[in-house]
């Protein structure tokens, strides 16, 4: 008995010496400060996820973990619907923060369970078969619990795989003091960009507010005003996302995540690609690049695993994951239709403009403007969420832009691919 106690103490001491405890304690502290009592909304599923991962067989772990996690998240979203739409109450901001963190937790939980299901993570059979708490289970489970709640990803992305997280934590033990400078440089660089983008967002918001005060009309076919208001409102939302992604990435970089030899892994641990998002003339590319790690997670969870209509299933699940607010359902349905048409438009028009530089430039400018309008229209709908927002957007002249794409989806056949 004494030997087992000493062994357990040794395992606990080893855990306390690791970075896992630092990142987990930071996550718990951040959850309590930012969410208050609503922190239990995140802590409860995090604990249960670790239990399921270590108690269920690999062939069923993803199915049950996914269903239970999404059920819990859906119930929390329905509670928000009940308070906002039925009771007409103003929801506590701390509850919204907790709900947003829960959505990010769902990504990490389901990513781990799918990794186990696919054999990328091996859980020792003796861990699954044991139904008691001891030092071995504690030492093996703690990295998983730390991954669920580590503070850089608690309130923001990007999504990091458990394998990358664990390898990085183990490498930190071997790193020297000189390696601290590079993460600090990346952290401060992205923090500066964060403040610059936030100042731009405030400027755009003030501009929109001034125009709203000077023009009391609703969006009713005033073409210049409608286009500018939709575009400026969407820009305000985009800048908010860009700044939040950069801040989240900077926190990850601060602890070394996303950095290899001091260079940033732009395509493995980053959600931000502002240049592509603002210059692309393809709606499909905008959707793939927007919040890149979440888009990759949706592709892996749904698109690659769905046997029936994977394209539609992916957008339907995205609406479910976001909370099934009325305008979100409208926005994601519209997004799916416009992405589908976008593929067809570029299939037909790309070869026709390839021979002329002028036509190619004209085509890119026009499709860029269309992409800006359509994505702005969808983003405003998804962010404002309410049914009244849908009605207001339908009155706007900007509704013509996505409507043209919807009509093209009906009238333009899919061009057969060449073998």
Catalytic residues: 291, 322
CA distance 322 to 313: 14
Q: Which residues of 384-395 are buried (b: 16+ CB within 10 A; e: fewer)?
A: bbeeebbebbee
CA distances from 262 to 256, 258, 279 (A): 9, 9, 28
298 contact partners, CB below 8 Å, separation of at least 6: 314, 317, 318, 321
CA distance 247 to 97: 16
Helix (H, G, I), strand (E, B) or coil at 130: coil
CA distance 387 to 392: 9
The dihedrals phi and psi of 40, each to the nearest 5 degrees, come to -65, -25
CA distance 5 to 339: 60
Q: Classify the phi-psi angles of 36: left when phi > 0, otherwise alpha if psi is within -120 to 50, otherwise beta.
A: left
191 contact partners, CB below 8 Å, separation of at least 6: 246, 247, 250
The CB density around residue 203, as the number of other CB atoms within 10 Å, is: 12
230 contact partners, CB below 8 Å, separation of at least 6: 219, 373, 376, 377, 380, 393, 396, 398
């Amino acid at each position: 008995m004494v030997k087992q106690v000493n062994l357990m103490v040794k395992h606990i001491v080893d855990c306390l010496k690791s970075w896992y405890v630092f990142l987990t304690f930071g996550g718990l502290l951040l959850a309590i400060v930012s969410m208050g009592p609503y922190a239990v909304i995140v802590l409860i599923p995090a604990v249960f996820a670790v239990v399921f991962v270590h108690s269920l067989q690999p062939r069923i772990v993803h199915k049950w973990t996914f269903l239970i996690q999404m059920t819990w998240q859906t119930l929390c979203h329905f509670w928000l619907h009940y308070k906002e739409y039925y009771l007409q109450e103003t929801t506590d901001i701390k509850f919204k923060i907790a709900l947003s963190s829960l959505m990010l937790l769902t990504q990490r939980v389901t990513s781990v369970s799918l990794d186990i299901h696919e054999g990328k993570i091996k859980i020792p059979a003796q861990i699954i078969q044991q139904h008691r708490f001891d030092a071995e289970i504690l030492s093996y489970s703690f990295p998983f619990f730390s991954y669920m709640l580590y503070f850089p990803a608690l309130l923001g992305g990007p999504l990091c795989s458990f394998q990358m997280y664990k390898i990085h934590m183990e490498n930190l033990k071997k790193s020297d003091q000189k390696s601290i400078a590079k993460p600090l440089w990346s952290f401060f660089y992205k923090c500066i960009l964060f403040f610059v983008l936030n100042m731009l967002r405030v400027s755009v918001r003030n501009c929109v507010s001034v125009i709203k005060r000077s023009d009391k009309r609703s969006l009713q076919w005033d073409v210049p005003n409608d286009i500018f208001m939709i575009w400026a409102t969407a820009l305000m939302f985009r800048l908010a996302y860009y700044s939040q992604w950069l801040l989240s990435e900077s926190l990850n970089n601060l602890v070394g995540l996303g950095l290899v030899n001091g260079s940033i892994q732009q395509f493995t641990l980053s959600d931000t690609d502002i240049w592509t998002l603002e210059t692309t003339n393809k709606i499909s590319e905008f959707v793939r690049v927007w919040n890149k790690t979440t888009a990759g997670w949706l592709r892996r969870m749904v698109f690659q695993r769905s046997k029936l209509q994977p394209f539609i299933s992916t957008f339907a699940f995205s609406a479910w994951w976001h909370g099934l607010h009325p305008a979100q359902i409208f926005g994601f349905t519209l997004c799916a239709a416009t992405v589908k048409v976008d593929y067809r438009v570029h299939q037909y028009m790309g070869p026709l403009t390839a021979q002329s530089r002028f036509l190619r430039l004209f085509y890119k400018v026009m499709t860029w403007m269309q992409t800006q309008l359509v994505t702005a229209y969808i983003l405003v709908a998804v962010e404002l969420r309410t049914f009244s927002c849908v009605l207001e957007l339908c009155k706007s002249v900007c509704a013509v832009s996505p409507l043209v794409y919807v009509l093209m989806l009906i009238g333009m056949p899919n061009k057969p691919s060449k073998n």
